Chains A and B, each alone.
Chain A
Amino acid sequence: MARRTGASRQRTVITPEGVALPFVLATRTARAAALVIDLGLIVTVMIVTTLTLIWLGRGIGLEGGAAINASKSRAIQALVIVWLIAMFLLRNAWFLFFELGPRGATPGKRLTGIRIAARGTERLTTEAVIARNIVRDIELFMPVVFIGGAFAAGSDTDVAGWAGAAWFAIFVLFPFFNRDALRCGDVIAGTWVVEASRRKLGEALSVSAPPSAADQAFTFTPEELAVYGEYELQTLERVLRDGRGPALDDVADAISRKIGRPFPYRAERVFLEAYYLQLRAHLEQGMRLGRRKADKYAA
């Protein structure tokens, strides 16, 4: 149900129609996980491609040794070219291809439930996707080479090596030093990564719980309805939709105490549904008249 998200990750975008749409920025953890999944997939595809080509090369007759004739060597050359191009494409086009799709997400991002989007009200353009992925090279591959090299060399590494490693570490750590968790590519492309949640629509409560029976049993006075606000209403909605027995009992107990009624023994659910519907009708009527009550503390 309603997942709690820190206010620091909430962003609002105004659509061209003038309606504010809330977005939740993806966590850095989710993005890192997506990246690891993607890299794993890329490496797997690379290995499979390489093995397939080697297998094809075997079939052509690589073991022939000195007896390789011209046509065979040409065929081998063609395989090497295919391999070089496949490696280049896997390294540079994987992210591009998937992020240009309607989901705006690579397989890794899809699995972690995130996608890319344009910052602000602009539409996501092909150029933006290209830009954000071209920069990936210096953010990821170069630092890995440099930092890996610095560690492999151990204490022998000279100052320049460490300086290079530190310089590239800046790019890797860039997302940790800004509010929107942008990486360098996001800055250049004007994009960010947001959560892409999909959910099912629950039943309308006033239909799934026909009020006729409840109405007769419980009718609340405006004074009894005035003690709570929208926040409590939505908490009550969550409890009703979850429908767990003990929680229902507790909430029914709390409400009946607050409004000074006896505990609705064996009719907790009916009591709560009736209270929910009447409270919602009460508050929505207030809304239509321009009076909103955020929570029970509001005047």
Chain B
Amino acid sequence: MNEAASTLIGRLGSWFSPAASAEIAAAEDAALRSDRFRLEREGEWKRLEAIVNRIESGRLRRISDEDLLALPALYRTAVSSLAVARETSLDAETLAWLEGLTRRAWFIVYGPRAGLGDWLLRFFGGGWGASVRALGTDILIALALMVTGTIAGWLLVASDPDWYYALMPGGVGDARVPGASRAVLMGTLFGQQDQQGLSVFAAFLFSNNAQVAILAFALGFAFGLPSAMLLIQNTTMVGALVWLYHGQGLTLEIIGWLAVHGTTELYAILLAGAAGLHIGRAMAFPGEAAVLDAAAAAGRRSAQVMVGVVLMLIVAGLLEAFARQMVNNTAGRLIVGGFMLVLWTGYFFVWRGNAREIG
């Protein structure tokens, strides 16, 4: 026997476990051709099953590199065995088992490609921006809705101050009501830096706002109409608030007060609404695709944006609780807000990162 043949046999020997070679010997005895087919391949199937079992139970570290590399090949072997067995074998047991095994291996071989860590890396390295850019039209629509909402809020309250109470959900003790004096309004904008519990406030704001943003997105499912209503409803409050302070000559001050966190928070709400509208539009006007396929494609694209929205709201919560109370002058607040606006816009639309376009 020459050297090449012996290495080949050595490789085969390591490929099939001792039990498998015994099975091959047993295959010689099997009466049916289809059973011989099965017994010859059973070793590889069992090896695939063992690997799949270990991956499914989350013991990824205990799988050798050799096994991981062999997984795709073993999977294809199982698939082709299944295809052959369906045409040549009437052994229902083997067929059902092989189908189950192929299915489980299929989930792994064609499963989520990246773990959460890898996915986040890709996400920050440009995937986020790409998914935002993919919503271009919807962002413009959402922006138009928000501007309309703000103007509508202003005009409504300007025509009849009673509207203010309808629009603002404020509590009874809120000082910010029509007719409040300039001093009172000033007091709500500045001089709260002594407040205790700012960090708790930030965490509360975040979890509250994130829930609202998730709602804005999820409501896109009803053809985007509720998302649009939510956008308008939220911005009419902004319009009403600005009108109130404008009446006492505090326009710039209120804008500064809002801008600190507002540029981030309203940006996040804009994106969440746009994501909702994106799904709504895809379902209402699916084009060539089936409605379900169009909705699925849109949903996957906008899900990334939503992860980003939640992260933006964390930043907004921190800014609202800390930066707004600590930066106690309008110029500083405008600078912080403006900086965040430029930062987000640049990150989304200018910086392309190194990730592939998504969508």
Q: Give the interface of A toward B (CB within 8 A).
A: 2, 15-19, 21-23, 73, 77-78, 80-81, 84-85, 87-88, 92, 97, 100-104, 115, 117, 119, 123-132, 134-135, 137-139, 142, 171, 182, 184, 187-191, 196-202, 204-207, 210-211, 230, 233-234, 237-238, 241, 277, 280-281, 283-284, 287-288
Contacts and interface: CB of A to CB of B under 8 A. Distances in A.
Given A198-B100, A280-B32, A123 B90 contact: no
Given A124-B111, A125-B112, A189-B299, A281 B31 contact: yes
A7 B113 CA distance: 32
B101 to A, nearest CB: 8
Contacts of B106: 15, 21
B80 to A, nearest CB: 7
Interface stretch (B34-42, B151-159, B330-338): B34-42
B23 to A, nearest CB: 9
B183 interface: no
B94 A125 contact: no
A84 B300 contact: no
A188 B218 CA distance: 9
Nearest to A277: B31
Contacts of B34: 280, 284
14 contacts: A19-B82, A102-B55, A104-B107, A131-B300, A131-B306, A135-B221, A139-B218, A187-B299, A201-B46, A202-B97, A206-B31, A237-B92, A237-B93, A280-B34
Contacts of A104: 107, 111
Contacts of A19: 79-80, 82-83, 102
A118 to B, nearest CB: 8
A201 B296 contact: no
B304 interface: yes
B111 to A, nearest CB: 6
A17 B114 contact: no
Contact of B110 (A123, A188, A204): A123
Nearest to A128: B300
B215 A131 contact: no
Interface of B is mostly: helix
Interface of A is mostly: helix
Given A137-B211, A201-B94, 4 more contacts: A124-B112, A134-B218, A202-B97, A287-B88
A281 B119 CA distance: 52
Given A88-B210, A210-B29, A127 B111 contact: no
Contacts of A233: 90
A197 B346 CA distance: 49
Contacts of B306: 130-131, 134
A17 B109 CA distance: 12
A277 B32 contact: yes
B58 interface: yes
Given A123-B111, A207-B26, A134 B93 contact: no
Contacts of B114: 126
Contacts of B214: 92, 134, 137
Contacts of B196: 73
B104 interface: yes
Interface in B67-109: 76, 79-80, 82-83, 87-94, 96-97, 99-100, 102-104, 106-108
Nearest to B210: A88
B204 A189 contact: no
Nearest to A194: B103
A189 B220 CA distance: 13
B303 interface: yes
B39 A134 contact: no
A85 B88 CA distance: 58
B222 to A, nearest CB: 9
Contacts of B219: 138
Given A81-B200, A88-B210, A206-B32, A234 B302 contact: no
B267 interface: no
A192 to B, nearest CB: 10
Given A202-B93, A237-B92, A207 B296 contact: no
A130 B29 CA distance: 53
B297 interface: yes
A187 B292 contact: yes
B111 A23 contact: no
B246 interface: no
A100 B111 CA distance: 9
A234 B92 contact: yes
A101 B108 CA distance: 10
B162 interface: no
A235 B146 CA distance: 66
Given A103-B56, A135-B218, A206 B293 contact: no
Interface string B218-253: 110100000000000000000000000000000000
A284 B99 CA distance: 19
A204 B38 contact: yes
